[in-house]
Amino acid sequence: MALLDILHHPDKRLREKAKPVERFDAALQRLIDDMFETMYAAPGVGLAATQVGIAQRVAVMDCAVEEGKREPLVVINPEIVAPAEPEDVEEGCLSVPGVRDKIKRYKRLKLTALDRTGKPYEIEADGLLAQCIQHEVDHLNGKLYIDYLSSVKRERLMKRMREEQASEEQ
């Protein structure tokens, strides 16, 4: 396994719409394993292939709430079905490091996807897992959580991010 480079905003590849996965081969399995290793090392709870420069509809997640426990989830060619109950949640992103803000996400949803072997499955998710699924599917569609912010809030967030990056480089 290998750590992958996570792209940071404003890298244009983050805006690319991912293509459906058609081949479930050894290269895909390596990508999934590398994405998990990268996500855990970051650390994060989700990572989309587009965040590591791969325009395929693949994301990995682990929203385990119990300390020391892992609940890895692979979603390939995901589709969100029946989202319900919008709510305000605080969100951050590995591709927009060091900043967080409140946005609207659905509290509950159904997800249809393929697992790492190509087998279809459906799950019902709520809470953090539902939020993470929406966040990663947005990445696969070329969208970032900051796109949900007003232009004023987004610019303020970007300014804070640039300032933090500048202070780290000194």
Other beta carbons within 10 Å of 99: 17
- pLDDT > 90? residue 85: yes
Tell me which amino acid residue 14 is.
Answer: L
Q: How confident is the model at residue 13 (pLDDT cuts 50, 70, 90)?
A: very high
Cα-based distances in Å from 66 to 33, 69, 71, 84 = 22, 6, 10, 25
Domains of the chain: 12-169 (3.90.45.10)
So what's the pLDDT on residue 52? 98
Cα-based distances in Å from 101 to 6, 63, 121 = 20, 19, 32
Global pTM?
0.92
So what's the pLDDT on residue 135? 98
Check: CB of residue 89 under 8 Å from CB of residue 105.
yes
Residue with tokens 């499955």, as numbered in its chain: 121
How confident is the model over 57-69, as pLDDT tens digits? Answer: 999 999 997 888 9
Active site residues: 136
Give the tokens for residue 165: 């990056």
